[in-house]
Each structure stands twice: as C-alpha cells, then as structure tokens.
Chains A and B, each alone.
Chain A
Amino acid sequence: MSIHAFTSESYPENDRIEAWQDVLGGFGLRSSPLSAQYGEYATALSRASLDGVGLMRFAAGPQVFSPLPRRADLPVALVPAEDGAVLKAGGSPQAVPAGRIILLPRQNDWNVTFHRDMRAIVLSVTAESFGGRKISLPECRDAVIVAPGGLADILRHTLETTSEALENLSSDDWNTIRLALAEMLLTLSRQKLSATADSAGIGAQPALLHRIYEAIERKLGDPDITPARIAQMEGISERYLQKLFESTGDNFTHYLRERRLQRCWADLANAAEAHRSVSDIAFSCGFSDAAHFSRSFRDRFGLSPRAFRQQEIERLSDRGVRAERRGWPQDAIAQLRPHRQSPVIAPAELEPAASTLPQGGAPAHHHLPADAAHVHWGFFSRALKPLIEIASGDTVTVETLTQHASDDPELMIKNDPGAESVFRWTAEGKGVERRGAGPMDASIYGRGAGEGFGVHICTGPIAVKGAEPGDVLEVRVLDIVPRPSRNPEFEGRVFGSSVAAWWGYHYDEFLSEPKPREAVTIYEIFSGDEPYAQALYSYRWQPQRDPSGVLHQTYDYPGVPVAAGTIRRRHNVLDGVRIPLRLHFGVIGVAPREAGLVDSVPPAYFGGNLDNWRLGKDAAVYLPVSAPEALLSIGDPHAAQGDGELSGTAIECSMTGTFRVVLHKKADLAGRPFADLTYPLIETETDWVLTGFSHPNYLAEFGERGQSEVYAKSSLDLAMKDAFRKVRRFLMNTRGLSEDEAIALISAAVDFGVTQVVDGNWGVHAILSKRLFTN
C-alpha cells in the first residue's frame, strides 16, 4: 500500500493533464475539459492498498468526470466538498449539495460536472477488496446522490476524517479503516442502488445467498459445519442450498474450503497474529488436521503455510524500512529489551600514537591514517577504545574515507592501501566487520554485520586528555585536502560519488519510470582558483551480491563493492554543469553519553552527522563533551553539498583534514559564546551557525525507541522551533539581551536555512552574522 502525493506543479505544462488522468484512472474516473483553464492545476493525496481500496482527497480546476469502463467493481463514491457539482445520469441534471455521497456505477453512462474550482474525496473499492469473500455486487443502476442520514452520514464522516489524516495513519490504522470503508460502501450501494431498482424486482434469491455467505463467515471456525446445518439455520432445504450455490457456478464444499484458506492466509500475513502458531491458526479457521491444512494451503497458494508466513515477515520488514526510513525497526528494539544486552564491540586496537610526543607543553602534532585499525564504521560509542590521546591545543591530521568509495572501487579504492584495508571484503570476511549499530549476526534484515544502521566511516576515536562531561571541545578545521586516486591508471586524479538513495527526500515522488530507483553519479574533482566538481558518469543501482553472498536490492548496506559488469554507465550526464566545491566533513562528533552503540546517521547534541557545508576550512565546531576524554571521531567527507542534501548524499569524496583541538573546561566557560552549550555550535569567520534538529536529543526523548522513532518523526517545523529556541537562548545568554531584544534581532537579521532533510533527525540552522555586533 502506498501514500501518493500528486501535484500538477511537478510537471511541465504539457504533461500535466496526462499525469492528472493517470491519478484519476486509479479511481475509475476520467476527466474532460470544461474551459480553457483546464489542467491548470490539481493536487491530490491518496492512499491505496494492493487489494483495491483507494481513498483520495483532491483539489482541481473546473472539469467533467465520467467513468473509465472497468470490470465489475463497486460503484465509485465521490463526495464534493462544496456546492456546485452537477450530476447527469439518464434523466435531468441534478445539483449535488456539498458533502453528499454520489454513488457512481462504473459501467453506466453518467457524468459529474464541476463548474468551479473543486475539492472532493473519492473512494474506490474493487471486488477483490474482500479477501476472497464472495460479495453479491449490487445491480448496476443509475448513479444516485445519496440522501443524508444513517449509514451515508457515517460513511461520509469516516471518509472526511480519514482523508484528513491520510498521511498520519499507521499501516494498522489504515488496514482497519480500509476494511470498514469497503464494507460500508458495499452495504450502502446495496441499499441505495437496489432501492432505485425496486420496480425491477431484485430477486429474493441474491438476498438469501448473501445471508448464507454471511452465515458461513460467522461459522468458519466451526469444524463441524455442514450444508445441512447452514440450510437449517436459514430455514431452507439442503437441496435448495446446493442449488443456490450451483447457480453461482460453485459448490458449498469448495466455497467453504476457499473461505477457510483465505482466512488462514490473512491471519498468517498479519503481523499482529505473529504470536500464534500455524496449527493454532488452522484450527481457529475450522481445519481439524494440520497436515491436511498444510497440503490444502500449498495446493491453493503454491507454498507451505510456514514458508508463506516467513515470506510475509520479510516483505513487511522490507517495507518497514522503506516507510519508516533508516535505523532500527521498532519490533527489533522490543526484542532486545528483555535481554538488556548491549551489543558487543570488537575492541579497536590501541595504536601507539603515531605522533610526536608533547615536549614541554608545546602543542604537538599527530597523524591518524585511515585504515582498518583506525576506523569505526556506522556508529558512535563511548565504549570504543581511543586510538590516540592528544592534549588540548594539539593539532591532528586525520585521514578520512568516504563510505561511497565502493561505488567505483577502481577509481576510489584500488591500490590505496588504507582504503583497501577498510573496504576489504571476501567470502571469508571483511576488513571492518561491523558496519552500523545493529546486531553483529544481522538477525534483523540479514544485510550484514551491524545491519547498516549507520553508514559513515569514522576515523577515531581520539581521546582528549582531561576532557570530562560538561566541558566543551573546540574542533577547528585548519585544512582540508582531497585524497587522490592511487590507481596508476588515474594517478593523482580525485573522484567522488553522490547517490540519489532510497532515504532521499525525492524518493517517494519520482516523475519518470522506473519508480522508485536509486542513481549513483560519479564526479571528478578539479582544483584551481575556483575548484569545482564535474560529473563523469552515472548509473542506476542494480541489485548487488556482496562477497558474503547477500543480495542488496537497494543501497541498504555501506561499502558493498559495485561490480562494473552489473551496471550500465550513462555518460554525458550534467553536461555543462560545474559544481563549485564546498569541502567539509559531514561527520564531526564526540561520543554520546548514552551507553551502547549509536547509529551514525541522525545528528544530535553530540554532533555527528551535521551535514552542514559551512563546517569547512577555517570553521570550528564546539561540541559538548559527554563522555570522559571526549572521544572525537571524524568522517563523511564531502566535496560539495547543497542546503537540504536533498537526494540523501553530498559529493562524497575521501579527504584528509587537519584540525586544532582545544578543550574548554567547564569552569572556564562563563562569558564565552559557547557557555551553556547543549548542541553543536559552528563558528565561521563571519557567522555563528546554530544547529536545530527535529529532536535535539532524540536518544533521551524517545528512550530505547530513539534509534527507530527519530526516523519516523522528523519534521522541518520541529527543527525550525528548535533552531529558534537555540538562537534566542544564545542571544540572551551570550549577549545579555532581553527576550524582546532577541526576538526583534532574530526577525530583522538572523537567517534560517534547511540543513538536511535526509538524516533521520532533520535539521534547520540559524545563521547569526558576527557583523551585527560592534563590540
């Protein structure tokens, strides 16, 4: 099932009408022009399930609706929100009052004209919407405007409230409502369309058959159900009962078995029934012999009940990821809870510091190479052992690798010993086994160790001598240098990759086929006075089998080497486009205070995946120290990114940074701009940049569910609120302004921008120019 937002604004003028017809077609409607304005605009939000219940609310210009001839499905229900629609069906035209349901049989001749701009709700239910249950479809009579009262009112209310809440309903909510909608429409159609057809004498026979179907539904769980008992219940002879079934081209025994199998099918597919055993479900549906049930089920559906259930669970979890974005699924966290085990971390090797030892208090310089022994992949943790220890004021050169180097290993990994050691992956094992904060045995999705709950290759952690929770760590970027290819064929050239991925903002609403899709663009980076990136080629993601044998249908696990033979390169992409560079590190963070492993994707109070391009050369980020020795990690190098990081990634390019790290002790913070710091604060030469998030401290806010919830509950509106509160506090605390002064200044001079809408915890930043202050 899917939620689909449509707006004609997405399409070039000439394609708008066709796109709108496509949307209407899904609801059995066709539209024709009424005036020249036609096709000017339309917006719609719809939700539909595979079995054929669809609900849509929409607004559009004046036009005429007529039926798209279809097989025998229930009539379409249309509810205009305003007066002014006119129904023409057979007789004279009838005006449709606002809020009335019109029942529109799909095979008749009718039309509904909207003379003005309109808003309406439409419900479409197919014959398949009843889980294999036979329904006696009402006779197709003329379209009717249903008088208010009774069931019509209830259906209309349900349609209205459901259509308002469409985006917010969980899958379970929607499943319940769609079943109810289908049933209500069926009953209403029977009442209303039959009523108009009274004179034609709708037979007693269909009504009786309908009652018999209903009786069977009620008695399905009774293993002793027989034709004789049903016939007795309805006061007819068994022979007549059999004849009735024959008249539909079926027989009682077959119909009963089909209904029992269908109900088992539905229960097995239902996640809420997961606690019941297969035989339990079979018994409750009236099967008295498990082996017999298993055989019948396989004959009917082509696979055993057990296999079917497994397949459904996998399908649901796939969908869960897609619908709820990245991170831990809810139910997996629920399972973890009873055991209370925090995941085990492979101990990082404590390297002898590859640095000049501090001599007489003078700042020392350190170097951290990027190789398998110096990175952690996809997570932060206070339990990680630091690789080196540095003192406040020291400088450190940190090599970082992009996790997207594997998008073209020839260009970005081959012959580079550091990158090769990190990305090494054979059937026997990996250079870095854990990628993400998930379980090592990949028991949730089976993607690989760590499950890709977190994707960034982070170099570190670096211990800062004397750092304690409550202190502030200043990390200043002194220099950034891209990492050239070591492949002799491309020696010295620099490459990057950008993926329009399934976690991108665009992913739910592609215009062109195939939908959805992931696309990778490989860039070359050129230095010079005005350095830039230019696209080399692109390809659509194809399922990749990793060296351990797992197939990755989507980009769901980092570092899967893309085999050149599996993809089709498209050249001449983004011709004539040069992207000015904005070298920066997407990830700079200290260890979170919470125990366990923390997904590297959502940024939060401890920094992490900030994805703000302003954090480049000469900028600094101030981070609240949250674990002893701070444990600083750096990664996710970006050659360029736009505010929003719309497709899910920047131009991801391995780079080496040099940083000066200064520890500000809690006792010395008073009066400093970073006193009272509870979030990452960025300082550039000209500005203070305050980072707002949907959920500034999602780990605390949602507790154990945090690493799942944060993906589901992100919003720019929340992030904007957070950014506002932070900049108000900053002005009041560090500048001594009153609240009124602060708000006046924010309104007149502070710029709010969209940092990213793809990292689970969405970001809005506030830019406060240093020029505002004269002292």
Chain B
Amino acid sequence: MKHHLLPVSPANIHWGYFSKKVAPALTLKSGDRATIETLTHHANDDYERMIANDPGAESVFHWTREHKAVARRGAGPTEGPFQRGSGEGIGVHLLTGPVAIENAEPGDILEVRILDIRPRPSCNACHAGKCFGSNVAASWGFHYHDLIEEPKPREVVTIFELDTSGEPYAKAVYNYIWTPQTDPDGIVHPTIDYPGVRVDHTRVKKRENILPNVRVPARLHFGTMGLAPAESDFVSSIPPGYTGGNIDDWRIGKGARMYYPVAVPGAFFSVGDPHAAQGDSELGGTAIETSLTGDFEFILHKNRDLGGTVLEGLSHPMLETDQQWSMYGFTFPNYLAELGQDAQTDIVNHSSLDKAMRDAFRKLRRFLMTVHHMSEDEAIALMSVAADFGVTQVVDANWGVHGSIRKNVFMCT
C-alpha cells in the first residue's frame, strides 16, 4: 500500500467536466491511498477570504487579460467566439484528478473509501486559520422562479465561516445580491453563468448580521465524485449519472464508501465540489461550498469477482455507510445514452422527481433481489416498511431521489 499526495494546481485539476481524454494526474494501484486537495469553484465569490495568498488556489484561479491558468471551464466549445467563455460553463466544478487505477476495466467496480475530510483554512493574514465557504441561491435553484420578495429574479451569495473549535458548524458572515460582473476577457456575466469569475466587491452591496442565532451543523462531504463516462470525451460535471459525479448527497462524507461502475480503462476518478454542509435537495442550487482536503482509499473489484457480493449486478453508484446502503435514483439513470446527442444541454428540460423516485425504487428492488436473494414480493414488502426514500437534489438537471435501507434490518450481515 502506497500513500500518494495530489495537491491542487492547474496541472492536477480539470474544470467543469469528466473526461476519459484528460491525462491522469496520478496513477495508483488498488489498495493505495491518496490525500487529495480540492477547491470550491465558488472561492472567487470572496477572493480575499478563499483565494488570496493560497498558492494552490491562486494558481488555479489565476485569470488576467494576458493569462487564464485554466482556460477550459465546462464541456462546451473551446473555440470562440464565446458567449460566456471557453467551455461555456457547461459544467462548473473544479475537479482534482483524474486518478487512474491500474488494471481497471469497463465492467469492474471501483470502491472509494473516504477516510478523512479536513477544511482548507484561509491563507490571508487577515483571516488566517479561519475557514470560509459560499452558498449561492442561483438561477438554477428550485426557488428561482418562485420568489416572493423583490427584486425578482435575483441571485444571492451568502458567505459562511466554518467554526471547527468544537462540534463543527457554519455561521453566515454576510450576503450580497449578484450584480453583473465583467471578467478579464471583457465578457459580462449578468448572472452566475460561468465559474471562477472574480466578484468585484466594490460592485456589490454587502449585508451583514444575517442569519443571526443560526448555526448550521457541518456535514463535510464531496458533492462531486465519480468516474469518466464512456459516452463522450467531455461530459458536463453538472448532471450526475451512472458513473456518479455530482450526486450531492451529504452522506458521502468521512467513513463513507462509494461504489462506481468503471466505464473506461483506468476508471479515471475525479473529485471536487467540496461542501461544508448541505440539506437533502440542495434547494437553492448550491451547498455551503468550501475547499476541502480528503484522504481516500481505492479498491478495485474486478468484474469476475463480483458474483455473490453486494456488488453483483451493480450498474449505478451506490453508497455504504456504517448504518445503511443507499441507491441513487435519477430522472434518467443514463441520460447520456437516453437523450442522445444534445443530452448534456437537453437534460435540464426533463428534470423530474417522479421519474427519479421510480428509478430509486427499481434500483433498491434490484439490490434486495440480487444481493439479498429476496423474492419480488419480499423486496416490495420490505421497502414499504423499512426503506426510506429522500430527495437528494432538485438542482443538478438530472434530479435525484435516494432509496436507503438500514443495515440493522439484516440480522446476518
């Protein structure tokens, strides 16, 4: 077993997409561990608190008229003229990786264990040692067309500080309404339509003393974690799918084990979208987006060894924690295949919880029948009395419902 280190840098990250074409930042063997740094793509909502003097973050976010350290942000076109910028922001998450796993082949399952998660403190002398995050009630939020106060519509950024002195919690520092921001290439962003645009704090009005007396208990986790899909070379990081990705379940934190179907040789694991806290549904469009560093262990399960294990027949991401198993249902289990050529942009027009619930039901039924050898009648009876279905997210185009079954239901496992 070897322990690797993968710091953030323009060479070790890719922005806004999963890809089987990107050269791996690290190659390791099944059983190896790695410490992987991740950055939130919302760090520029408050540059002073989340980027300044942090060499890793500065190198990634660096963007002047002359030089943009990471040009491509999203799975969109990289040839101009651009509406929003290279990659067009079709996919927004800063992902560290890919990590290639030796001998991984399509049909295998990659198990990723999260051993630990730590926040990334500010390097700015004024805020030294403190940790910050940003929450955006964005245009892709569930609430956006259902606002009751003026001005409508609006996007709102709330900056949180993470207190880790005791039981960790987040506390709001201030918020502001997004105003049109001009990026160094001269493109104006009237809404939050492209990641990593530095917000000019002279052009927004900060409101302090917000959410007084409110402490949000921390749930450190990675919103986006998964493998490169086979269907396209560049796949937007926003909709989650059969190889995982932007699942946005806060249970994918310390102690969790995720299982992903390998779709391309080498698996190509990437991780990012670090969250300090999120509710089931991620209603406003984002969590408390905070840069985090994780310790991971990777275990490759070869296809031929899956029979008779909990991984038999697995064709979608699955979570195991100490207490439960969760199956992830989506509006489209594999939207890339189901929606055809324009899947990555078309999917947002088809979001539905009802379909995601259907999918979660089917996946959990399959799990109980295949893994626990239940008859269909037993599986359905058990789901009604002991399985819990929850809303994972309603903001990532391919909406999610998770179906969970507690481990203590089974006496012998």
Contact = CB atoms under 8 A, between A and B. Distances in A.
B215 interface: yes
Contacts of A651: 385
B341 A640 contact: no
Contacts of A11: 366
B385 A739 contact: no
A617 B209 CA distance: 38
Interface string B347-389: 0000011100111011101100110001111101111111111
B388 A753 contact: yes
B146 interface: yes
Contact of A642 (B213, B215, B375, B387): B387
A640 B172 CA distance: 39
Contacts, number: 272
Contacts of A512: 375-376
A753 B384 contact: no
Contacts of A576: 410-412
Interface stretch (B1-9, B34-42, B110-118, B277-285): B277-285
Contact of B386 (A7, A579, A724, A744): A579
Interface in A739-775: 739-741, 743-754, 757, 764, 769, 771-775
B165 interface: no
A658 B277 CA distance: 38
B391 interface: yes
A535 B315 CA distance: 30
Main secondary structure of the interface of A (DSSP, over half): mixed
A538 interface: yes
Contacts of A753: 280, 388-391
A441 B214 CA distance: 58
Interface string B48-64: 00000000000000000
Interface in A569-614: 573-574, 576-580
A119 B177 CA distance: 43
A741 B366 contact: no
Contact of A117 (B278, B340, B370): B340
A177 interface: no
Interface in A1-50: 5, 7, 9-13, 40-41, 43
Contacts of B378: 538, 573-574
B137 A743 contact: yes
A578 B380 contact: no
A623 interface: no
Contact of B389 (A650, A715, A754): A754
B316 A9 contact: yes
Contact of B285 (A498, A538, A747): A747
Contacts of A740: 137, 149, 156, 158, 175, 177, 210
A630 B216 CA distance: 37
B386 A717 contact: no
B377 A500 contact: yes
B279 A748 contact: yes
Of the four ranges (under 10, 10 to 19, 20 to 34, 35 or more), the interface on chain B belongs to 35 or more
B380 A500 contact: yes
A656 interface: no
A771 B280 contact: no
B402 to A, nearest CB: 10
Nearest to A644: B389
B408 A519 contact: no
A737 B363 contact: no
B215 A772 contact: yes
Contacts of B403: 644
Interface stretch (B15-23, B81-89, B194-202, B330-338): B330-338
B213 A771 contact: no
A82 B338 CA distance: 12
Find the residue from B135, B137, B352 having the highest chain A CB count within 10 A.
Answer: B137
A717 B354 contact: yes
A540 B146 CA distance: 46
Contacts of A41: 315, 333-334, 337
B213 A745 contact: no
A9 B359 contact: yes
B323 to A, nearest CB: 11
Contacts of A578: 408-409, 411
22 contacts: A9-B363, A59-B339, A574-B374, A576-B411, A577-B409, A642-B387, A646-B383, A646-B384, A647-B384, A650-B384, A715-B353, A717-B354, A724-B283, A739-B147, A743-B156, A744-B156, A745-B214, A747-B278, A747-B282, A749-B279, A752-B391, A772-B216
Given A647-B380, A738-B149, A740-B156, 4 more contacts: A743-B143, A743-B156, A744-B284, A750-B283
Interface of A: 5, 7, 9-13, 40-41, 43, 59, 61, 81-82, 117, 119, 498, 500, 504-506, 509-512, 517, 519, 521, 533, 535, 538, 540, 573-574, 576-580, 640-651, 715-717, 720-721, 724-725, 728, 737-741, 743-754, 757, 764, 769, 771-775
